[in-house]
Amino acid sequence: MLFKEISLDSKKELDPYFDLVDYEGCEYCFSTLYMWQHVYKTEYYIGKDFAVLIGEYEGDSFSILPLAKKEKIPEIVEFIFSFFKDSNKKILLRGITHEVLDYLKEKYGDKFNYIEERDLFDYIYDAESLRTLAGRKNQKKRNHINSFLKEYEGRYECRLLGKSDFQDCVSLLKAWEHDKEENEDYDESMNDELFGILKILNHYDVLKDKVKVYGVFIDGKLQAFSIGEYLSDKMALIHVEKADPSIRGLYPFINQQFLVNQFPDVDFVNREEDMGLEGLRKAKLSYHPVRFVEKYTVKEK
């Protein structure tokens, strides 16, 4: 089997296979895989009506769910297992859904360890709730936004960003990176995220058919930006959200306005995982997710 490294040139080849699946996990999107390819060394193989994705984690090769119609999944799982056997490697699957987990448990039983990866669960929100922030549970968010609107009335602008704005995004990222030592939740994965964001911005011409970059300016200066796209007709996927944390209400404001103006028709929003970071988990829970995309690791004993 000839696996190829995921690159910009892979997009046209892989996009039709992402259209075959309805997975809700953030991994099952070309932009996500490309953004993090430098971390996981992600590669792919195109077969007959399916695609297989493999990567590397802590020195071990792993596969995520194949891109194929549901009825073909058992057949392709066997294909993936053959790949590991032929490579003299133990089977390792990551980002596995509960549905596939149940299938593997039923068919293979104790051949594997089945590990719940809570730090990797994606947060799924009701989109209308995030757009309106209605109800008592969102009162604090509304208060923060109202404070922002009162303080900066007539001084802010919200809009989609283009290549001419991306240097401002980079400047905002550099300012955020400069302050990272004061961030109690900072860890090395954030350096990888910064590099991934730059990949998206630098190659926007190729990715802009799906990817949206949205910003908030105050007094003509970019103070917040977010990157997202449609994961499906019913779900938006928010990859990135960066803002000046010293400006009260700016984070909930861009969160709301991005959805109101660019994803007015979706039912749900995937805001990805918290990576086990306490502050990030608290922030994501504060928006009251309606459910999680549960993810599991399946490891051969």
Element (H, E) at 291: strand 291-293
Q: Is residue 286 part of a domain?
A: no
For residue range 117-147, list pLDDT tens digits in order: 999 999 999 999 999 999 999 999 999 999 9
* Residues 262 and 167 reside in one and the same domain: yes
For residue 216, being part of any structural domain is answered with: yes
259 and 128 both lie in a single domain: yes
- Same domain, yes or no: 172 and 207: yes
Longest dimension (CA), the chain: 64
pLDDT score for 175:
84
Q: Are 155 and 73 part of one and the same domain?
A: no
Give the separation between CA 254 and CA 299, rounded to whole angstroms: 40
Q: What is the dihedral of CA 222, 151, 136, 131, to 10 degrees?
A: -30
CATH number at 95 reads 3.40.630.30
Boundary residue ending a domain (101, 120, 139): 120
- Is 300 a member of any domain? no
Domain count for the chain: 2
CA dist 237 and 263 (Å) reads 10
Residue 99 lies in a domain: yes
* Sign (positive or negative) of CA dihedral 176, 180, 186, 188: positive
Same domain, 116 and 128: no
| 51 in the same domain as 156 | no
Do 248 and 126 fall within a single domain? yes
Query: Do 98 and 137 have their domain in common?
Result: no
Q: Which residues pair with 50 in a beta bridge?
A: 47
Residue segments in the chain with a per-residue pLDDT below the cut of 70: 178-189
144 and 91 inside one domain: no
Residue 188 lies in a domain: yes
Q: Please report the pLDDT score of residue 1 as a whole number.
A: 72
Domain enclosing residue 205, as ranges:
122-272
Per-residue confidence (pLDDT) for residue 78, from 0 to 100: 94
Helix boundaries (H) for the chain: 11-18, 30-35, 37-40, 73-86, 98-108, 127-132, 139-151, 166-178, 189-202, 204-207, 250-262, 278-285
Do 154 and 242 lie in one domain? The reply is: yes
* pLDDT in the model for residue 174: 85
Say if residue 178 is in the same domain as residue 263.
Answer: yes
